[in-house]
Structure formats: C-alpha cells, structure tokens
C-alpha cells in the first residue's frame, strides 16, 4: 500500500485521494476507484489527472467491504512497521524476533512492540468487523488510523 504523504485534491470536486493499494485508489471517504498504480515518481498533479475521470464514471469493482478490509489491513501493517522503524527496527516482524534476546533492552522493546501490535490488531479487527456487519459506516483511512491505539512509549532498560 502506498499512502500519500498528504491527501491529493481532485480539482474542484471537494474530494481527495489518500492512497493506492496496488489495485485501486482510496478516496478520502474510504471508497475505492480501480486503476493501475501510479509510477513511484508520479506527481500529485499526474495522480489527480488519472483519478478525476474515474469519479464521473467509476469502473466496476468487487465488494467494497472486502476491498476496504484489504486496504485497511495493509495500512495497519504499514503503521506498525513505521512504529517499529521509529525504534530502529526494519519492521514489526523483525522487532518481534528479539523477544527472547539475552540483551534486556532488546527483549523489553520486543515485548512492548508485541503488546502494541496485539492491541492495534484487536482494535483494527473490532472496527472492521463493525463495518462488515453494518454496525457502523466505513471510516476514512485517516479516521481509521486515528482510532487505532497510539504508539507505545519506548521502554528504558
């Protein structure tokens, strides 16, 4: 998933695009528009130009809830990797390998990140299950990420 650093405005529509999940653009309201991924070096203007025509005539797409689940799961994984990266680990998966470390600092950090990962995924599953069972509307990607638990405090060992 490529989450744009800031929402990209779509002309005078009042809409913006927030991410591309490999198969579709994610709009600020959580809707997806199926289109090929933009080039890594694509400008905001080029991305907006590619998405604007899709607003008026969206291509057929599979079940919105299934797509949202994949998109939001990917964003959750990216968030967790960024949080582990802030502590110097290549990824959350890599950080968890230090759980049995003989170095107390590494073991404590791994334990904190594992607990955080579990807390985040439980919250994510609750949010997405409520959407999938029509107990709540689909939040925007930004709203969803804001609802997840805040980053943990790094332990001092």
Please give, one letter per residue, the 3-state secondary structure of 83-152: HHHHCCCCCHHHHHCCCCCCCHHHHHHHHHHHHHHHHHHHHHHHHHHHHHCCCCCCCCHHHHHHHCCCCC
The 10 Å Cβ neighbour count of residue 64 is: 13
Confidence of residue 115 (pLDDT cuts 50, 70, 90): very high
According to DSSP, residue 61 is labeled -
> Looking at residue 61, what is its pLDDT?
56
Mean of the per-residue pLDDT values of the chain:
86
Domain ranges in the chain are 2-56, 64-147
Rg (C-alpha) for the chain, rounded Å, is 18
Give pLDDT tens digits for 55-94: 777 766 556 676 677 889 989 999 999 999 999 999 999 9
> Looking at residue 98, what is its pLDDT?
97
Give pLDDT tens digits for 116-153: 999 999 999 999 989 888 899 888 889 999 999 999 99
According to DSSP, residue 36 is labeled P
> Looking at residue 35, what is its pLDDT?
73
> Looking at residue 15, what is its pLDDT?
82
Identify each DSSP E strand in 10-79 by its residue range. Answer: 16-20, 24-27, 32-34
């Amino acid at each position: 998933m490529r989450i744009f650093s800031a929402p990209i405005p779509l002309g005078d529509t009042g809409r913006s695009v927030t991410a591309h999940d490999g198969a579709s653009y994610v709009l600020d309201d959580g809707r997806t528009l199926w289109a090929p991924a933009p080039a890594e070096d694509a400008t905001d203007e080029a991305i907006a130009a590619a998405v604007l025509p899709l607003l008026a005539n969206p291509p057929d797409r599979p079940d919105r809830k299934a797509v949202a689940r994949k998109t939001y799961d990917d964003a959750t994984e990216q968030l967790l990797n960024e949080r582990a990266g802030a502590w110097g680990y290549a990824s959350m998966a890599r950080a968890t390998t230090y759980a049995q470390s003989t170095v107390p600092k590494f073991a404590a950090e791994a334990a904190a990140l594992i607990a955080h990962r579990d807390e985040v995924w439980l919250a994510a599953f609750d949010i997405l299950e409520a959407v999938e069972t029509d107990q709540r509307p689909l939040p925007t990607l930004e709203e969803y990420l804001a609802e997840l638990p805040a980053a943990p405090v790094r332990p001092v060992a």
